Chains A and B, each alone.
Chain A
Amino acid sequence: MIALLRRDLAIATRAGGGFGLGLAFFLVVVVLVPFGVGPETSVLTRIAPGVLWIGALLACLLSLDRMFALDYEDGSLDLLATAPIPLEGVVAVKALAHWLTTGLPLTLMAPLLAVLLNLPPQGFVWLVVSLALGTPALSVIGAFGAALTVGLRRGGLLLSLLVLPLYVPTLIFGAEAARRGAEGMEAGTPLALLTGISLGCAALMPFAAAAALRVNLR
């Protein structure tokens, strides 16, 4: 399992692994928002938590279709499926690798972009905490979507259609926590619910994803 994690991390961070793409995408999306809604600081301040959450979510989505597709195409997944590691474990490790290479960097980068959107000072902590607690759910739910669409030719588009509705609860609680934090309100409840979603997804989604992978490997 550790070997698998290390390999996935190595592949993601080497040339052509697409490690920086998600971050660059996040940056571009956030930079584009003021062009869309106007430069008024008060407006930007108000929408900053939501925009940052949606940007992070979309950036997360970008790299999902590679999660299993590469291993599927080059036959690695066949051998992994017959390996002594349970497929559920493979899914969990790959989701973890995905989070380490997208969710975590996005979380760390969010405060920098928050400056561009005039997030109030008290909001930074809540933004980072909510992203840190929420992005794992995005990766695990995404792993399920990736497992469903792994054998398909136009899987990427379908993956988005399948995964985005599943992201709704995570987005609602995550953005709500960040917004309440930015407005100086109590943000504990949405954070607790967000953590619940992340934990629940991490515990259960690998089973659903592994089931889907087994079907797709037939």
Chain B
Amino acid sequence: MQQDRGALKSRGMASLWEYANPKRFMQVSAVLLPWMAGLSALCLVVGLVWGFFFTPDDFRQGSTVKIIYLHVPSALMAINAWLMMLVTSLIWLIRRHHVSALAARAAAPVGLVMTVIALATGAIWGQPMWGTWWAWDPRLTSFLILGLFYLGYIALWEAVENADTAADLTSVLCLVGSVFAVLSRYAVLFWNQGLHQGASLSLDKEENVADVFYHPLLVSIAGFVLLFVALVLLRTRTEIRQRRLQALLNRERMA
């Protein structure tokens, strides 16, 4: 063990894993957090104000096209948050870095809220476009299922008392859930095409997005990414403090 640590020290700051040390993470994140928060606020305000006030209406969809600045970034982040949880869960399972597991825990509610935003804006957008609040469109359905996965993941974290046990179990769930999320995505595609052949309701955003809409969208996406990073940093800091608090209380009880 001592040798281990010696070797680690000699490699010095170069190693990325240094930041997996809770203390190092707290130091670095304390510096990073205000920047991330500020930048994300800036990007969000610029992107959304630009999108809301200074973009023309789409000739087909009218002003509803403005919903894109919320819908697309939140949907992107809903998926990316899960991917980030998958990566951090793997890191926890393989390298046993506590910060990694706690970051996954911190990201889950953010991902869930992003999913809810994507679904809500999708429904609000769908109402005038498709004439219904909810259509079992493959894309919407996949997001609904993703939301259920987030719920289960969060509930498992809350239910298990021992923090390391919870980290292990949720990590395994995240891995298995990822496989099933992909499976569900294909199953849903298959299922809906089976129902309404040829009548696809999905809007292909990427195709008909012109530059006037594209630039504010990019700023808005950057804002959502930064918001996610800032929130995860903040929430991971809270989780680390919570763990430390628990450790201190346990120690007190023992003494």
Contacts and interface: CB of A to CB of B under 8 A. Distances in A.
A/B contact in complex, CB under 8 angstroms: yes
Interface of A: 144, 148-149, 151-152, 154-155, 158, 161-162, 164-166, 168-169, 172-173, 176, 180, 190, 193, 197, 205, 208, 211-212, 215-216, 218
B173 A162 contact: yes
B172 A208 contact: yes
B180 interface: yes
Contacts of A173: 187, 190
Contact of A164 (B148, B177, B183): B148
A218 B165 CA distance: 8
A172 B180 contact: no
Contacts of B149: 165
A161 B169 contact: no
A162 B165 contact: no
A74 to B, nearest CB: 21
Interface of B: 145, 148-149, 151-152, 155-156, 159-160, 165, 168-169, 172-173, 175-177, 180, 183-184, 186-188, 190-191, 194
Given A161-B151, A161-B152, A211-B172, A166 B190 contact: no
Contacts of A152: 159-160
B142 to A, nearest CB: 10
A148 B180 CA distance: 16
Contact of B152 (A154, A165, A168, A193): A165
Contact of B155 (A161, A166, A193, A215): A161
A215 B166 CA distance: 9
B172 A154 contact: no
Given A158-B159, A208-B175, A211-B172, A165 B190 contact: no
A208 B93 CA distance: 12
B187 A148 contact: no
A168 B165 contact: no
Given A148-B172, A161-B148, A208-B175, 13 more contacts: A161-B151, A161-B155, A162-B152, A165-B152, A168-B145, A169-B184, A172-B184, A172-B187, A172-B188, A172-B190, A173-B190, A215-B169, A215-B172
A166 B165 contact: no
Contacts of A208: 172, 175-176
Nearest to B185: A169
B180 A169 contact: yes
Given A169-B180, A218-B165, A162 B156 contact: yes
A154 B159 contact: yes
Given A165-B180, A169-B183, A148 B156 contact: yes
Contact of B165 (A155, A161, A216): A216
A152 B145 CA distance: 24
A152 B183 CA distance: 28
B147 to A, nearest CB: 9
A215 B173 CA distance: 12
Contacts of B152: 158, 161-162, 165
A158 B186 CA distance: 26
A176 B180 CA distance: 18
12 contacts: A148-B172, A152-B159, A161-B148, A161-B152, A165-B148, A165-B152, A165-B180, A166-B180, A169-B187, A176-B191, A193-B187, A197-B183
A168 B180 CA distance: 8
Contacts of B148: 161, 164-165
A158 B145 CA distance: 16
